[in-house]
Amino acid sequence: MKNNLSNKLKNHFSVRTVSLKTNSHIPYSNFAFTPSTPLKGFTIVELLVVIVVIGILAAITIVSYTGISQKAVLASLQSDLSNSSQKLKMYQVEHGAYPAALDGSNCPKDSTGAVDTHYCLKASPGNRFVYGSSSPYSTFSLTATNDNGISYQVSDNSQPTVLAAAPTVSGSSPVADWLSTTQGDHYGNYYDLVSHNWATVTRTGPKTIYDPNANHIYDVPANYLAMNPWSAYQASGRGSAAVIEEARTNYVLNSYGAANSAGVRTGWGITETLSGAPTPTIVAGVYGATAQRIQYTGVAGDSSTELLFEQFTPNGSFAVGESVTFSCWAKATNAGVESWIQVVAYGSDGSYKGHVETQVTLTGTFSRFTQTYSSLPTGTDHLRVDMKVGSVDSGDSIDLTFDAAQLEKGAFATSYIPTTTAAVTRSKDVVTVPTTGWNAAAGTIVAVADVFDNAVLYRSVVDATSGSNWLQMEVKYGLGSSRAGNSGDILNMSGHLSGPYVLAMQWDGPGVISYVSGNASTPSGSITPPSTMASFAHIGSDANSNWNGNMSIQRVTVYSSALSSSDVTTVTNAVKNGP
């Protein structure tokens, strides 16, 4: 039975096998095979779920990698700066000064060009250094920038600090982002976070900067900008701001001198009708050991008499109609001393022509006081300035100190210009930057500034000689009037303007819109942008005209498109407190 069944099956499959080989005309349907367990595939929904899950996992992986990569870049920049700072300080210990510069291999070299390979700086892959220092090379600034645009900076007295670029808005990234950057104690330059280059600064003559946080005046080397902490102007401010000023002359000599035969003093002198003799000395003040101190105790016979610490300018130094400003820092150890600062006008024959004065309240801490003579009277030839103490009686105690006195032409005071035995002129600050990537047809300039007087914030000149085509951002205040009628005034602001502000100018064809702290301002005149862009521009002042900035400018950011109002607001909020 079993064998019969086996043979039948064998014969059956044998026949079938032969049929497949020899009878190809037999339909394939005759050989259909139905499995005992049906096959199952993925449904569309299941495939979609799998794809979504894979996408989420990939996104998480990419974000995690990007975050780790970003942290690695930041760590490398900070590490490079920390290590380099230590090497520079070791170089300073051995050589007595910091390097004057770095050579092509990031090795320090002194002012003679001698290179010391023992202290070469090493940058991680993708990082590069920008070094800054100036004579006498007692300070330094070192910036490390990664290929992806992230920058950190360190100085001889600070830790590595990030320099944050301005934001990209509506797909438009800055083509220039000039950030005021310290390179030494209260001085530095503008550093472009886009091109990673320094601006060119031109200024001869002495320069100083008063830091209200420290209540001290600091020297600034030639061809550097004066720098103050941005917190000196804005309480929540970060970073530094460059102070850009026009040319001025200090006519006051800050040294003692006797009266000459004409009775005109060549330095400070004392005029009084006191019964005793005041004691003048030179002591430490806001600018080194240059403060003038007067001590006196009233004796019998003194009765409401005056004491003047005064100085005359040379004959012919001033003329009718000119505006002048006298400024000085002063303090008194005794409260309640009646004091005034004065500007007195004289003719060439010494005759009195007029004067202005302001009573000041002195405390035990140095404060700055100013007095402006807005228009000198007819017949003016020279001036006298003085610090006056009145009503000195028997038993009164006077202890008055003042420092950094300055008499200059103009309706406002600028930074202190040190003098000794002759008047000294400070040339204006000229900051030149390239306009690579700028767009003449459309663009936006955003500046973070503390404006304290008539200022041209930014000007781009196509033809520096004729000035035929130009862009200009100007802030003007004074006497409560705007400057309607001047086509260059695109920020129509009347009255007294005080900062800090984020000022913006956006142009597109002939149209110009100005913004102050994100709010649009109506232009007082139309401006036609140039057909081509100049190869350079100036921040704050112009080298070829009388346009001068007198302001603290922290940052100037340029976009190559006309940003919308909402984008201007976004940028304003991002840059107003500093990097």
Does residue 31 lie within any of the structural domains? no
181 and 293 together in one domain: no
E strands, 203-316, are 208-211, 216-219, 225-229, 240-244, 248-250, 269-272, 279-283, 291-297, 305-312
Place of tokens 């645009």: 149
Both 449 and 500 in one domain: the answer is: yes
Separation CA 500–CA 578 (nearest Å): 11
Establish if 521 belongs to a structural domain.
yes
Q: Is 506 a domain residue?
A: yes
Same domain (yes/no): 358, 372: yes
Would you state the pLDDT for residue 463? 38
Shared-domain flag, residues 63 and 115: yes
Same domain, 325 and 238: no
User: Are 483 and 501 found together in one domain?
Assistant: yes
Last residue of a domain, one of 426, 453, 481: 426
Please give the backbone phi and psi of residue 506, each rounded to the nearest 5 degrees, phi first: -125, 130
If residue 68 lies in a helix (H) or strand (E), which one and from where to where? helix 44-95
Question: What pLDDT was estimated at residue 190?
Answer: 92
> What are the structure tokens assigned to 493, written together?
């602001």
Nearest to 386 by CA among 231, 203, 252, 558: 252
Residue of 244, 254, 318, 316 whose CA lies nearest to 291: 254
Beta partners for 41?
A: none
pTM of the entire predicted model: 0.73
**Domain range holding 478?**
164-247+430-579
pLDDT attached to residue 16: 43
Last residue of a domain, one of 134, 160, 186: 160
Per the structure block, which two tokens stand in for 477?
Answer: 């205040």
Nearest to 131 by CA among 159, 106, 110, 96: 106
- The greatest distance separating any two alpha carbons of the chain, rounded to the nearest whole angstrom, comes to 159
Q: Which two tokens stand for residue 494?
A: 């009347």
On whether the CB atoms of residues 563 and 169 are closer than 8 A, the answer is: yes
If asked whether residues 283 and 385 sit together in one domain, one would say: yes
Domain C-terminal end among 160, 193, 220: 160
- Give the model confidence (pLDDT) of 115-171 as tens digits: 999 999 988 888 888 887 777 888 888 888 887 667 888 888 777 877 778 899 998
Tokens encoding 30: 């005759």
Give me 559's structure tokens.
């976009």
| One-letter-per-residue 3-state SS of 142-182 | EEEEECCCCEEEEECCCCCEEECCCCCECCECEEEEEEEEE
Cβ neighbours for 433, distance < 8 A, ≥ 6 positions apart: 176, 178, 190, 192, 199, 200, 536, 537, 538, 539, 556
Determine, yes or no, domain membership for 18. Answer: no
Other CB atoms within 10 A of residue 475 CB: 25
109 and 237 share one domain: no
Task: Please state, in angstroms and rounded to a whole number, the distance separating the CA atoms of residues 104 and 505.
Answer: 39
Is 351 within a domain? yes
pLDDT recorded at residue 510: 59
Whether 274 and 422 map to the same domain: the answer is: yes
Q: 481: how many CB neighbours lie within 10 A of its CB?
A: 10
* Residue 329 belongs to domain with CATH number: 2.60.120.260
Q: What are phi and psi of 412, to 5 degrees?
A: -155, 160
Please report, for the domain that includes residue 523, its CATH number: 2.60.120.200
Both 454 and 565 in one domain: the answer is yes
184 located within any domain = yes
Give me 544's structure tokens.
């070829």
Q: What's the number of domains the chain is made of? A: 3
In this structure, the answer to whether residues 171 and 285 fall within a common structural domain is no
Q: Does residue 24 lie in a domain region?
A: no
| Same-domain check for residues 324 and 402 | yes
Residue that has been written with the tokens 């085509």 in this structure: 469
Cis before 38 (ω within 30): no
463 lies in some domain: yes
Q: Which residues of the chain have pLDDT under 50?
A: 1-2, 5, 8-9, 12-26, 28-31, 33, 452-471, 475-497, 524-525
Q: Is 156 exposed, middle or buried (0-12, 13-18, 19+ CB in 10 A)?
A: middle
State how far the Cα of 146 lies from the Cα of 27, in Å rounded to an integer: 73
Q: What is the pLDDT of residue 324?
A: 97
Task: Specify the DSSP element, H or E, that contains 70.
Answer: helix 44-95
CA angle 413, 415, 420 (to 5 degrees): 105
